[in-house]
Amino acid sequence: MNDWSLARLLSNLHEDIERRLSTARSSFGHAPSKGDASESVWLDLLTTYLPQRYQAASAHVVDSEGNFSDQIHVVIFDRQYSPFIFTFEGQKIIPAESVYAVFEAKQTINADLVRYAREKCASVRTLRRTSLPIPHAGGTYDPKPPKPILGGILTFESDWKAPLGDPLQKALSGGDAASRLDIGCVAAHGIFYRADDQFVVVAEKKPATAFLLELIARLQELATVPMINVRAYARWLEQ
């Protein structure tokens, strides 16, 4: 018998994330620096623990009609089937077809920041995504309809006295389909996620780990991104 403990391993993962987010908040006096540090913590978590078919980065998203999203703190996208990831001086531009999920990363959560996160999600979801027929040995499959892009918010703390109470539920209930939030984490208190058009809010003891596992489960449900029409992007070479 060995001394490994799965419960302890999962607990340590959360404690590491919470400690790093807390350090980012207490150590930096400059608000943008705090934000950059927090964003880096979440990106590191996802880069380390998501399956390698996914990649996480801060990026803009573009569609084949030349429309761009806002700057998104955390974009989870496909690197197994999706080409055309443009990088310049640390800035990434990702095709809309490759995107699985987008998150706004903040120090804290409140109604204004939930609204802001919804706007960021909508700037990605309203982009056009192409989908081509999929060739196989016996012919072709019909084009795969693009799956919904997950949207969420990641924070360390909450500005509400009841961190996960009615004000959070009220803030999450706003917005339309393009701007809805599906999943989020308040690392010091718990997680939330949408299930059957209702929000489930859970005061988890280890929120960062719970969020990571719930996110992976939801990414599994989305399966594979559609087959991108690269020629739709290539036409911009003639402009």
pLDDT for 112-152, tens place per residue? 999 999 999 999 999 999 998 888 787 888 888 899 999 99
- The torsion angles phi and psi of 206, rounded to 5 degrees, stand at -130, 70
Stated pTM of the model: 0.90
Per the structure, the count of domains in the chain is 1
Check if the beta carbon of residue 185 is closer than 8 Å to that of residue 193. Answer: no
pLDDT of amino acid 94: 94
The answer to the question of residue 144 being in a domain is: no
Domain that holds residue 39: 6-133+149-233
- Compute the 3-state secondary structure of the chain and give helix, strand, coil in percent, each to the nearest 5: 40, 25, 35
The answer to the question of residue 142 being in a domain is: no
The dihedral formed by the CA atoms of 212, 109, 56 and 29, expressed in degrees to the nearest 10: -120
Residue 5 DSSP SS3: coil
**Cα gap 51→39, rounded to integer Å:** 20
